């Protein structure tokens, strides 16, 4: 069971800011920006590379939730949406998730 599954099942506390039947969003415990939110589907998809065509609605929903949360969190000056896929990309939890980062200038290229 990943840390995200434990958060979803409320075995581990998290600062949840949004939730519905399909996904949950909460503040990252090790933020890389003043705003760093993780948007996590409740159904386990290990990583983007493992997503199937049946996951299209869920994947689209995760991005629209990022958009909505960016507005709610007043990221009007810009924000970044990141999905890491695999160890070389910095993926640390094998459960697909979207990072929403903002409230500071973000450099390019990243890391």
- The per-residue pLDDT for range 59-98, each reduced to its tens digit, is 999 999 999 999 999 999 999 999 999 999 999 999 999 9
Q: Which of 98, 94, 85 has its CA nearest to residue 22? A: 98
DSSP-derived 3-state class of residue 88: helix
CATH number of this structure's domain 3-102: 3.30.428.10
* Catalytic positions: 97
Interatomic CA distance for residues 111 and 107, integer angstroms: 9
Edge to edge, the sheet with strand 23-27 lists: 16-19, 23-27, 35-41, 98-102, 79-82
- pTM as predicted: 0.95
Question: Mean pLDDT over all residues of the chain?
Answer: 96
């Amino acid at each position: 069971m990943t840390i995200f599954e434990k958060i979803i099942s409320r075995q581990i506390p998290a600062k949840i800011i949004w939730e519905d039947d399909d996904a949950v969003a909460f503040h990252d415990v090790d933020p890389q920006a003043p705003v760093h939110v993780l948007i996590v589907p409740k159904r386990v998809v290990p990583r983007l590379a493992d997503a199937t065509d049946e996951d299209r609605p869920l994947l689209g929903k995760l991005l629209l939730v990022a958009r909505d949360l960016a507005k709610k969190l007043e990221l009007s000056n810009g924000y970044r949406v990141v999905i890491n896929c695999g160890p070389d990309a910095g993926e640390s939890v094998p459960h697909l998730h979207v990072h929403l980062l903002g409230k500071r200038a973000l450099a390019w290229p990243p890391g």
